[in-house]
């Protein structure tokens, strides 16, 4: 660990777990050191502009084409892909869920994936899916890669042991990780069961947002992103590779661990990021800027300023604005907002939105502070206040998010979410002051 990574900006890294394993001066020598095979993993078209061109050269014990059986289909009934429009019969609405329960039966990361929403179309590589994972068993001889998109992992409980082709990372709650499209992984947890959120991004890769007039500093800084160093398994035993491809699942047998990359160089890599290193920028006199000021990573759609999906956080910060309603105001949005809470309390919803829970405020559906939040923020003494011990996040996409049947039928769906706005009174009485009792 320890190599800073700047998503999408073309850095090139190199790392080897045996001395001299990395060929120098040439990507594909006639014979690689240690008898390794050279293999390129392309994360962008060959001809992508230099600033967005991503590929890595992997030097591995066997090429990944070496598997011992043909692929066959298998069922992962709760991991859905867009388009998945008719899966749920629940009418549109503002929705909120309690935390997903931990499994009782032995469950791996792949088996424990539950899709909540899908958006766009996996076949044309636009849109995303929002999932939760909950698992209690490490993948031992099972490996997985997702050809349909990159995975943004947001642990909420339990530290992930994320072993990728390019190295191994521990990813704790409060950190996030990106697994690039097509990269082999196996996932365990350091201790206990693990739960978290996943954004499966079908579209262009997540990158850092432009800062505009903010300048060269703040928000997520490139130096805080970390790629792994090379690490490999030299394991000769029956293993299984599972693949998500075109919204379907396939598996094949393999006689060895596919995490056998001894050295690599390139810029198509997994990475992790500690959310506490995000430097928020906000109002320092009055008014409430849009939550886009808290964008950690953005996946562009091709239309300027319109993300395929943004990853936004609501981190600890000082609230100092004068004469300003400080929680997010009521609003309606062309974008669709899927929110989760990693820990603590969210300032617009102090009750009901709990760590491990979720909410969905879909395209053009109104939402905002609950009655308690409105009353409190409307009458609060406006001294500087620090929001501490809190970390909420949002997957915000330009596409409507369609519910899965699981999301609409699970017991964790809150029937009474709408009631949180019930007590909002008429304050208008024809006087400029309004009626405040």
User: Which positions are catalytic?
Assistant: 288
98, 166, 354, 414 from 358: Cα distances, Å: 7, 32, 8, 10
Which residues are within 8 A (CB) of 425 and not within 5 positions of it... i.e. 6 or more apart? none
Q: Which is nearer to Fe ion, 175 or 337 (CB)?
A: 337
CA terminus-to-terminus distance, the chain: 57
Please report how close the Cβ of residue 289 comes to Fe ion at its closest, in angstroms.
Answer: 13
Residue facing Fe ion at closest CB distance: 337
Please report how close the Cβ of residue 361 comes to Fe ion at its closest, in angstroms.
Answer: 5
Binding to Fe ion (CB under 5 A): which residues in 266-305?
none
Q: Return the range that interacts with Fe ion (CB under 5 A); candidates 134-142, 200-208, 227-235, 334-342.
A: 334-342
Helix, strand, or coil here: 13? strand
Strand order in the sheet with 306-314: 95-97, 358-361, 336-343, 391-397, 306-314, 295-303
Q: Which is nearer to Fe ion, 171 or 319 (CB)?
A: 319
Q: Which is nearer to Fe ion, 5 or 346 (CB)?
A: 346
Q: Return the range that interacts with Fe ion (CB under 5 A); candidates 65-73, 238-246, 263-271, 332-340.
A: 332-340
- Say if residues 82 and 122 touch (Cβ distance below 8 Å): yes
Please report how close the Cβ of residue 368 comes to Fe ion at its closest, in angstroms.
Answer: 7
Q: Return the range that interacts with Fe ion (CB under 5 A); candidates 201-209, 226-234, 272-280, 333-341.
A: 333-341
Q: Which is nearer to Fe ion, 135 or 393 (CB)?
A: 393
What is the SS3 string spanning 135-160? Answer: ECCCCCCEEEEECCCEEEEEEEECCE
Alpha carbons 336 and 148: distance in angstroms, whole number: 21
Please report how close the Cβ of residue 291 comes to Fe ion at its closest, in angstroms.
Answer: 7
Please report how close the Cβ of residue 317 comes to Fe ion at its closest, in angstroms.
Answer: 17
Q: Which is nearer to Fe ion, 106 or 366 (CB)?
A: 366
DSSP line for 84-95: -TTS--PPS--E
Interface with Fe ion by CB under 5 A: which residues?
Answer: 337
């Amino acid at each position: 660990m320890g190599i800073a990574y700047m998503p999408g900006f073309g850095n090139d890294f190199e790392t080897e777990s045996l001395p001299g394993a990395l060929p120098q001066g040439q990507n594909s020598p006639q014979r690689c050191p240690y008898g390794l095979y050279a293999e390129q993993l392309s994360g962008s078209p060959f001809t992508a502009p230099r600033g967005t061109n991503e590929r890595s050269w992997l030097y591995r014990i066997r090429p990944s084409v070496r598997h011992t059986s043909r692929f066959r289909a298998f069922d992962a009934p709760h991991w859905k892909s867009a388009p998945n429009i008719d899966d749920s019969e629940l009418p549109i609405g503002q929705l909120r869920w309690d935390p997903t329960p931990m499994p009782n039966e032995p469950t791996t990361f792949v088996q424990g994936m539950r899709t909540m929403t899908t958006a766009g179309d996996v076949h044309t590589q636009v849109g995303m899916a929002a999932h939760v994972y909950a698992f209690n068993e490490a993948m031992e001889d099972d490996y997985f890669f997702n050809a349909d998109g990159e995975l943004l992992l947001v642990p909420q409980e339990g530290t992930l042991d994320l072993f990728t082709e390019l190295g191994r990372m521990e990813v704790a709650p409060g950190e996030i990780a990106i697994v690039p499209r097509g990269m082999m992984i196996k996932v365990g947890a350091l201790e206990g069961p693990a739960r978290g959120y996943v954004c499966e991004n079908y579209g262009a890769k997540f990158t850092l947002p432009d800062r505009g007039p903010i300048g060269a500093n703040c928000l997520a800084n490139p130096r805080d992103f970390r790629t792994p160093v090379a690490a490999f398994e030299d394991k000769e035993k029956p293993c299984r590779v599972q693949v998500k491809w075109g919204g379907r699942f396939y598996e094949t047998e393999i006689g060895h661990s596919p995490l056998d990359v001894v050295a690599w160089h390139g810029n198509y890599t997994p990475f992790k990021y500690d959310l506490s290193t995000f430097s928020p920028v906000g109002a320092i006199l009055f008014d409430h800027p849009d939550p886009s000021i808290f964008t950690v990573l953005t996946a562009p759609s091709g239309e300027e300023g319109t993300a395929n999906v943004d990853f936004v956080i609501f981190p600890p910060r000082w609230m100092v604005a004068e004469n300003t309603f400080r929680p997010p105001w009521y609003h309606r949005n062309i974008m669709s907002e899927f929110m989760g809470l990693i820990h603590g309390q969210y300032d617009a919803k102090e009750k009901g939105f709990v760590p491990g829970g979720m909410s969905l405020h879909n395209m053009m559906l109104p939402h905002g502070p609950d009655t308690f939040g409105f009353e409190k923020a409307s009458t609060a003494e406006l001294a500087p206040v620090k929001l501490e011990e809190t970390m909420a996040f949002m997957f915000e996409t330009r596409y409507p998010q369609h519910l899965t049947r699981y999301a609409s039928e699970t017991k964790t769906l809150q029937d009474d979410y709408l009631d949180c706005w019930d007590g909002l009174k008429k304050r208008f009485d024809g006087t400029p002051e309004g009626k405040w009792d």
